Amino acid sequence: MIKLFSLKQQKKDGEATPKVGNQKKASAAQLRITKDINELNLPKTCNTEFPDPDDLLSFKLIICPDEGFYRGGRFVFSFKVGPNYPHEPPKVKCETPVYHPNIDLDGNVCLNILREDWKPVLTINSIVYGLQYLFLEPNPEDPLNKEAAEVLQNNRRVFEMNVLKAMRGGCVGSTFFERCLK
Give catalytic residue positions: 110
Question: What is the enclosing helix (H) or strand (E) of 6?
Answer: helix 4-12
Q: Give the Cα separation of 116 and 119 in Å (integer).
A: 9
Q: Strand 171-172 to strand 91-94: parallel, antiparallel, or no bridges (unpaired)?
A: unpaired
DSSP letter for 110, please: -
Please give the sequence-ordered ranges of beta strands (E in DSSP) within the chain, or none if there are none. 46-49, 58-63, 75-80, 91-94, 171-172, 175-176
Q: Strand 58-63 to strand 171-172: parallel, antiparallel, or no bridges (unpaired)?
A: unpaired
The terminus-to-terminus CA distance of the chain in angstroms comes to 61
Can the peptide bond before residue 51 be classed as cis, meaning omega within 30 degrees of 0?
no
Chain-centre distance for alpha carbon 74: 15
8 A C-beta contact, residue 139 and residue 178: no
